[in-house]
Structure 1
Amino acid sequence: MELKDVKNITFPKPSLEEWKEAAEVSLKGKSIEKLKTNTYEGITLYPLYTETADSTANVAELPGFFPYTRGTFPTGYYEKPWLVVQPVSGVTAEEANEKMKVSFKRGQNVVAYPASLLAKGARAEKLFKDIPLREIPVFIDLKGKQKGLFPQFKAVAESQNAQLTGVVAEDPIAEWLIGGQLPEDTDHYFADWLKTIQDYQKVGRDLKTVLINTAVYHNGGANAVQEIAYGLSAAVQYLLEGQKQGLSISSVSERIVFSFAVDSNYFMSIAKLRAARRLWAGLAEAFDTAPDHFKMAIHAVTSELTETLYDQHVNILRTTNQAFAAAIGGIQYLQIHPFTHPTGESDDFSERIARNTHLILKEETNITTVVDPAGGSWYVEQLTDELAEKAWAKFLEIDEAGGILELIKQGTLQKDIAEVYLGRVQNAAFRKDSIIGTNVYPNPADKIKTPTLDKHVSYMKVEKPVGITPIALERVSIQFEQIRLRSESYKEINGTAPTIGLINLKNLKSYKPRADFVKSLAAAGGIETVGSKGCQTIQEAVDYVASTNFPIYCICGSDDDYAELAPITIKEIKKQFPEINIYLAGKQQEELEITLSEAGMKDSIHVKTNVIAILLELLHELGVN
């Protein structure tokens, strides 16, 4: 056969049933159902996705055309790459201004400052000094200071004879949730706020001034369905408030920018952005407005929920994955947190790494040359459909309940988000969800000098406030970190870390897997382990305990070694050292577990153990407060 003949060879397309049969052979008779997984959104993920009628219809959509699932621009990033939004801070306005000008030389193309700078008194004229606002857009979430700072932005625009572009906005609903209070008279507040929005249009005709900060819901623990639905509900609330003040729907909708968090669930993050665009465009019909006025502008920001204090360089991997998902999903603005972000601090190096991540994605992946790279992936298309369907149902549920403000007043929104957050924490505790460097593969040598736990501040001053349940904003890893910090504090005071002994049975091959398992689990809580050599006899185990005298020991070995030695070893140790607590690595058959408990075993530590619970128990027994 010649090469030209090889090129013409075709292969039969196997059916889905044939694939299932082949897969079950690989699974050695287990059902293909074992490969399905469930998400926090209540979506079942399948091991294989193939073409369906719905997914084929979605691919037939064109980028830049309604319903904008595939993006709002026909050419994607080819003509309009996303803008690099990396907020720059400093001790003074002058320092921040100099750092901003340096960042422009290194890839930044947006003026971005944290609201805290302005809230603490930094003057806009100093922050924007020698920055050509006719050429460079702005992105600032003013977090409640929008009205008070308008005179400064007006003065800056007039001094340069420039029309501001970009985003100078805030999200009142998000700020109320952070601050735990909202105005008694929301109608009066919105009327006043919308006047401020109109004022800003005088200094920037195309300026985005209304922020829908869905990242607040995400960082509280919300799933993608909730994040989309709450974001749409907040946006609709603002549209309706605008109507009350005689504003057209388009005059408000075109001022809105959505800020979505992207997390480490790569494909879900992509689908979230695509589904959100589709649903927002669909609302144009509900408001009897042309779809062009409902092209969603998206600011994506890497997730705070998934960040960790320990092994901070893993945050670089997380944010790179998240940023790539955002870029694939389709965005206009992208903000990547520096890897030191959870400490509340950053430096030139961490800021440079974050900024350079943009440049690598833009210049080295060719992502800007392909329009909607995810389009045509049957997995992404179906995930987008399911997410859109569930988010729309949730949106209608909120609408029927009286809107997002009613849910916030009742505390229903906060409760629903808290339930999802609790599920995330539980999955981390049982290590169903891995947090590298925290609940799995912790680095015992990693230390935090002066940790600053996350603090979310709103600068919004609420007149005649009514108290509401604030949204709890805590990272999933925080309980592990608090436990580990307790151990480090104990070590600083006592000179030694809290320590448990490992009684290793028989040979290295037998005990090492479970000894490594316990060592890693203990390290997640800052607890050190000291292991014995392979104990061949009961007496060797007793001698090891006598020579080390730890309050806690864990026996490690194979199932066969446990059956032979564990019960009598535990019994003898407890006889001579009754105050010692003894654990066993690995879950055993019920009959043996009963025998071990009767011999004096405190508990077994295994893959289904709640790691947070066992670490707290161990620290208590070790006298760590």
Structure 2
Amino acid sequence: MSAEMPAAPAEVPVPLAEGLESTREAWEKATAAVLRKTRKLAEDAPDSDAWATLTTTTLDGIEVTPLGTPELTSGLPPTGLPGQAPFTRGTEALRENRAWDVRSWFTDPDGQRTADEVVTDLENGVNSLWLTLGTDGVPTDSLAKVLEPVFIDLAPVVVQDLHDPLGAARALVAVIEDKAVQAHHGCNLGVDPVGTAVRARLDLGGGETDLGVAVEAARLALPLGIGAIVVDGTAVHDAGGSDVQELAYLLAAGATYLRVLTEAGLTVDEAAGLLEFRIAATDEQFPTIAKFRAARRTWARVAELSGVAESGRGQRQHGVTSRPMMTSYDPYVNMLRTTVASFAAGVGGAAAVTVLPFDEPLGLPEAFSRRIARNTSGLLIGESHVAKVTDPAGGSHLVEQLTDDLARAAWAGLAELDGSGLEDGGGVLEALDLVAERILATRDARGLLVAKRAMPLTGVSEFPNLHEEQPERRPYPTAPAVFRYAHEFEAMRDDRVATPVFLATMGPIAAHTARATFAANLFAAGGIDTVAAGATSGVDEVLAAYDGAPVVCLTGHDSAYAEWGTDLVAALREAGASYVVVAGKADVGADDSVVAGLDALAFLRRTREELAS
């Protein structure tokens, strides 16, 4: 797998809007004017600085520009047509019914309840099933009952059991044979020993990691004309990996399975036909769209180098809305996250999309959350008509550039794994230490963004409702192992502080409300309640409202800080305050300050220690 991706031709400048009145300079001028009003751009900064101000950089170091222009794509290689190599624009020329499979996830250990949920989902828009079996989900011996009403020749079924993958595989094979029909080609026995090894290496659960399992599953699947292996990229994503790390892992794991299966006697075309790729979809819309497209392009290259016939190089993709992006607090916001994620996966060309229920972090989903999950894809397909065209993002300068950037970065990541022993016999299993090292580094980088709220988590790090009542759900038999982005904030919320912080609001409401709201939201994100003094006009009125709390936060206008802030801090200390915080950068003799961009997690830990002392 050391061959390089085809090089892009030299970049040729192309006018932004040839023949139209709009120009790049006009956009820069209009955008810069808005940025100056919001103080995101200095008054004396050139208009062209609007690009740098609005450009974001992913954890992989890939820039996402605010506007796609022809200059971005003028030097890119051809993307081909849908259904043709390199399959950037889709594995099929026209998707069946021009839509993706709406695939529901089932994990309830109550076999009868799962059977009822399967019928309900199939009658209401779902057309494929994904079942977690065994000790982590649906009892394997209940599978025949669960699938009894399912037309398995019409509705693809994918099973998964990390601990006994062959047991789950044989159970599905038995159901197919008992029904005596030709199973849908989209069915898959769902074994993935490589993915299980990754999860075990990163302390996200263990299971069967013997590559021989893949061979056994292949021998079961081939006579039935169904898939055998799910190359599960969510193993990397759930552990905290980045988009590029997930893509590079998918390529390495897929190549490992091709090698193992061909060494066992299968042709390379047979081996490639047994694979399905599971990819995480996040609420970062454009990077997610580009990720699915880049995955197909790079896998087509791996398949080409492996000798797979061109017709078999298309990658069958199962998109799953991200578990790490979900939050247990204010869980209804998860509906917004999963809507964007499912849209991006569908537009990106996934053959099947699973929208996880919004209450997934809390426990087993209920009827309402299951309905919302399946209806999300239904509305996108049936009412928003997102699937009316193949590759709707094709031709977008921004998406095409992102696709190329991700593909090239993923290929470089594959080369790095190559250098760590990918071709030395054990495949990607020989490179697990490097995979783990890269993922842990990404965890740290993302964690810093979350801590500084540069990566805001609505309802948790931003706009938290400290007094919300979370929905109650039945517990999982084994909770899905995942490294959630919000886990540090949520741990504080789980352990709320009994003593509130006193907000020493200075001046009338109009003068202090902005900083008081900012501070109260920040404290609430750390499980800390606040009590405010209200409208005040001086030190005596603040002291009259002071309740003796050990931690006090001054919130007011800069002019109030300059006029009587120092006196107020001294008076509060004399009245019993042991730790004084100021909202802003004023020098009033405070112990700490609250400003935009601070490490919120570190600040909240300090505050909680002071409240507990």
Is residue 610 of structure 2 the alignment partner of residue 621 of structure 1? yes
Quote the residue 1:484 is aligned against. Answer: 493
CA distance in 1, matches of 2:56, 2:413: 22
CA distance in 1, matches of 2:211, 2:447: 36
* Alignment deviations for residues 321-379 of structure 1 (CA, whole Å, 9 cap, x no partner): 10000110001111111011001221001001101111101101112221211011111
Quote the residue 1:509 is aligned against. Answer: 510
| Letter paired with 2:515 | R
Quote the residue 2:581 is aligned against. Answer: 583
Alignment of 1:190-201 (within 5 A): 190-191=211-212, 193-201=214-222
Alignment of 1:99-498 (within 5 A): 99-116=117-134, 120-165=139-184, 166-180=187-201, 189-191=210-212, 193-202=214-223, 204-205=224-225, 207-403=226-422, 411-448=433-470, 473-487=482-496, 497-498=498-499
Q: Identity across aligned pairs (percent)?
A: 28
Deviation of 1:101 after TM superposition, in Å, equals: 1.7
Contact 2:503-2:530 within 8 A present in 1 as well: yes
Contact 1:218-1:261 within 8 A present in 2 as well: yes
User: What is the number of equivalent residue pairs in this alignment?
Assistant: 576
Deviation of 1:129 after TM superposition, in Å, equals: 1.6
CA distance in 2, matches of 1:221, 1:189: 24
CA distance in 2, matches of 1:378, 1:453: 45
CA distance in 1, matches of 2:309, 2:281: 29
CA distance in 2, matches of 1:439, 1:199: 48
Query: What SS does structure 1 have at the residue aligned with 2:149?
Result: coil
| CA shift in 2, pair 1:312/1:200, >3 Å | same
| CA shift in 2, pair 1:332/1:60, >3 Å | closer
| CA shift in 2, pair 1:620/1:181, >3 Å | closer
CA distance in 2, matches of 1:134, 1:35: 49
Is residue 556 of structure 2 the alignment partner of residue 538 of structure 1? no
CA distance in 1, matches of 2:160, 2:109: 19
| CA shift in 2, pair 1:572/1:135, >3 Å | closer
Q: Mean alpha-carbon deviation: is it higher for 287-296 or for 354-363?
A: 287-296
Deviation of 1:58 after TM superposition, in Å, equals: 5.8
TM-score computed with the length of structure 1 as normaliser:
0.86
Query: What SS does structure 1 have at the residue aligned with 2:331?
Result: coil
CA distance in 2, matches of 1:454, 1:609: 37
* Alignment deviations for residues 142-161 of structure 1 (CA, whole Å, 9 cap, x no partner): 33423224443333222211
CA distance in 2, matches of 1:193, 1:37: 40
Indicate the RMSD between aligned Cα atoms, in angstroms.
2.8
| CA shift in 2, pair 1:104/1:407, >3 Å | closer
CA distance in 2, matches of 1:569, 1:181: 50
| CA shift in 2, pair 1:556/1:248, >3 Å | same
TM-score computed with the length of structure 2 as normaliser:
0.88
Deviation of 1:451 after TM superposition, in Å, equals: 8.0
| Letter paired with 1:200 | A
Deviation of 1:177 after TM superposition, in Å, equals: 2.2
Is residue 81 of structure 2 the alignment partner of residue 46 of structure 1? no
* Alignment deviations for residues 99-120 of structure 1 (CA, whole Å, 9 cap, x no partner): 2122211112123322247774
Deviation of 1:221 after TM superposition, in Å, equals: 1.5
CA distance in 1, matches of 2:381, 2:537: 60
Contact 1:76-1:372 within 8 A present in 2 as well: no
| Letter paired with 1:479 | E
Contact 2:214-2:261 within 8 A present in 1 as well: no
Deviation of 1:190 after TM superposition, in Å, equals: 2.6
Alignment of 1:21-40 (within 5 A): 23-24=31-32, 27=36, 28-30=43-45, 31-32=49-50, 33-40=52-59
Quote the residue 1:464 is aligned against. Answer: none
Deviation of 1:223 after TM superposition, in Å, equals: 1.2
Deviation of 1:456 after TM superposition, in Å, equals: 6.7
| CA shift in 2, pair 1:149/1:219, >3 Å | closer
Quote the residue 1:4 is aligned against. Answer: none
Query: What SS does structure 1 have at the residue aligned with 2:270?
Result: helix
Contact 2:451-2:599 within 8 A present in 1 as well: yes
Deviation of 1:475 after TM superposition, in Å, equals: 0.4
CA distance in 1, matches of 2:129, 2:473: 29
Contact 1:498-1:526 within 8 A present in 2 as well: no
| Letter paired with 2:449 | N
CA distance in 2, matches of 1:176, 1:390: 24
Quote the residue 1:3 is aligned against. Answer: none
| CA shift in 2, pair 1:222/1:447, >3 Å | same
Quote the residue 1:602 is aligned against. Answer: 591
| Letter paired with 1:572 | A
| CA shift in 2, pair 1:473/1:89, >3 Å | closer
Query: What SS does structure 2 have at the residue aligned with 1:259?
Result: strand
Is residue 66 of structure 2 the alignment partner of residue 66 of structure 1? no
Quote the residue 2:24 is aligned against. Answer: 16
| CA shift in 2, pair 1:411/1:380, >3 Å | same
Deviation of 1:561 after TM superposition, in Å, equals: 0.9
Contact 2:268-2:308 within 8 A present in 1 as well: yes
Quote the residue 2:11 is aligned against. Answer: none
CA distance in 2, matches of 1:519, 1:181: 36
Deviation of 1:181 after TM superposition, in Å, equals: 9.5
| CA shift in 2, pair 1:12/1:420, >3 Å | same
Runs of at least 5 residues in structure 2 that lack an aligned partner in the other structure: 1-17, 37-42
Deviation of 1:229 after TM superposition, in Å, equals: 0.4
Deviation of 1:504 after TM superposition, in Å, equals: 1.1
CA distance in 1, matches of 2:321, 2:25: 40
Query: What SS does structure 1 have at the residue aligned with 2:523?
Result: helix
Query: What SS does structure 1 have at the residue aligned with 2:612?
Result: coil
Contact 2:252-2:427 within 8 A present in 1 as well: no
Contact 1:212-1:256 within 8 A present in 2 as well: yes
CA distance in 1, matches of 2:152, 2:20: 60
Deviation of 1:60 after TM superposition, in Å, equals: 6.3
CA distance in 1, matches of 2:275, 2:383: 31
CA distance in 2, matches of 1:420, 1:523: 27
| CA shift in 2, pair 1:39/1:192, >3 Å | closer
Query: What SS does structure 2 have at the residue aligned with 1:607?
Result: coil
CA distance in 2, matches of 1:312, 1:376: 35
Q: Mean alpha-carbon deviation: is it higher for 214-223 or for 58-67?
A: 58-67
Query: What SS does structure 2 have at the residue aligned with 1:514?
Result: helix
| Letter paired with 2:192 | D
